[in-house]
Amino acid sequence: LIIYSDLDGTFLDYHTYSFAASLPALRRALDRGASVVFCSSKTRAEIQALQATLSLSSPFISENGGGIFIPEGFFSFELEELPREGSIRLLRLGKPYKELVTALTDVRERLGVDMRGFSDMTAEEIGQLCGLGLCESLLAKQREFDEPFLLKSNEEGLLDKICEVFAEGGMRVTRGGRLFHLTGENDKGEAIRRLTELFQRDEGNIRTVGIGDSVNDLPMLEEVDHPVLVQKPDGSYDETVLSRLPDATRAKGAGPVGWASEVMNLI
């Protein structure tokens, strides 16, 4: 059993980023031999810090499918075709961060819209915006494949126009829990497809679960055998996801509470 999980608002509480509610279920799942793979818009640095806190050493997917990170020796076969950084093999699917930042600046000037990316903000501002401490904000700024941004205006049709211009340059805009995200043509779904192939090569017959809370999780949920949607803090489920995946399991509880209840059911 491979459990692919979003972090913000799913494994972690939307407001406090606490994993207190999901931790017992995570331990149970790991004890039963399941693999838990984080698949988030967070950066490599943020996910590594979380994994260290949890003593978790599985592969993970950063920045909305931009990068897949596999600990050396995790699979029974060699991954020599992938570049190695320290004790990690890295599969890059995303556009380099620099290109995304340049594109955001260009589009802002071309359309004259008020968009601010993480690269325009100090760590303190990111902390205030996302409810993160200074250390965590510094980790969140270490970006490789995804530029989160704020769009001040909610003028009708503006977002469509922005998306169109980015699409001409081979880029996409997705919406996470708090912010928009500018990425290359990668998404969580493609990353999961690639990683699942490796798990299959290693273990043969596997079953995949995906757990998320937002529309940026849709490509991930479409890719797994068993899609699970947790509640948002107000108790609702993401309507876009449900309209596309009406049979997705609706976990009882917001974020990590729903996460724990559904993972316990599954194992």
Query: How far, in Å, CA of 201 to CA of 79, rounded?
Result: 12
Helical packing angle, 97-111 and 158-168, nearest 10° = 130
Task: Name the segment binding Mg ion (CB under 5 A); options: 49-57, 60-68, 75-83, 207-215.
Answer: 207-215
Known active-site residue 6: yes
Looking only at residues 214 through 233 of this chain, which bind Mg ion when binding is defined by CB under 5 A? 214
* Nearer CB in complex with Mg ion: 107/191: 191
Query: What is the full DSSP assignment across 38-73?
Result: EB-SS-HHHHHHHHHHHT----EEEGGGTEEEEETT
**Total chain residues near Mg ion (CB under 5 A):** 6
Sole binder of Mg ion in the list 8, 13, 144, 147 (CB under 5 A): 8
Strands 226-231 and 208-212: parallel
Q: One of 6, 13, 213, 217 is an active-site residue; which one? A: 6
- Other CB atoms within 10 A of residue 263 CB: 26
Task: Name the segment binding Mg ion (CB under 5 A); options: 28-36, 142-150, 211-219, 256-264.
Answer: 211-219
Q: In what order do the strands lie in the sheet with 2-5?
A: 35-38, 2-5, 208-212, 226-231, 249-254
Query: What is the full DSSP assignment across 161-201?
Result: HHHHHHHHTT-EEEE-SSSEEEE-S--HHHHHHHHHHHHHH
Q: Binding string to Mg ion for residues 148 to 177, with x set by CB under 5 A, is what?
A: -----------------------------x
- Other CB atoms within 10 A of residue 261 CB: 18
Task: Name the segment binding Mg ion (CB under 5 A); options: 90-98, 133-141, 213-221, 250-258.
Answer: 213-221
Q: What is the residue type of 37?
A: V
Q: Give the shortest CB-169-to-Mg ion separation in angstroms.
A: 26
Strand partners, 71: 88
Closest residue to bound Mg ion by CB: 9
9 binds Mg ion (CB under 5 A): yes
Helical packing angle, 255-266 and 23-31, nearest 10° = 20
213 binds Mg ion (CB under 5 A): yes
* Nearer CB in complex with Mg ion: 22/89: 22
Q: Give the shortest CB-9-to-Mg ion separation in angstroms.
A: 4
* Nearer CB in complex with Mg ion: 94/107: 94
* Nearer CB in complex with Mg ion: 13/213: 213
144 binds Mg ion (CB under 5 A): no
Which active-site residues does the annotation give?
6
The site for Mg ion (CB under 5 A) is made up of 6, 8-9, 177, 213-214
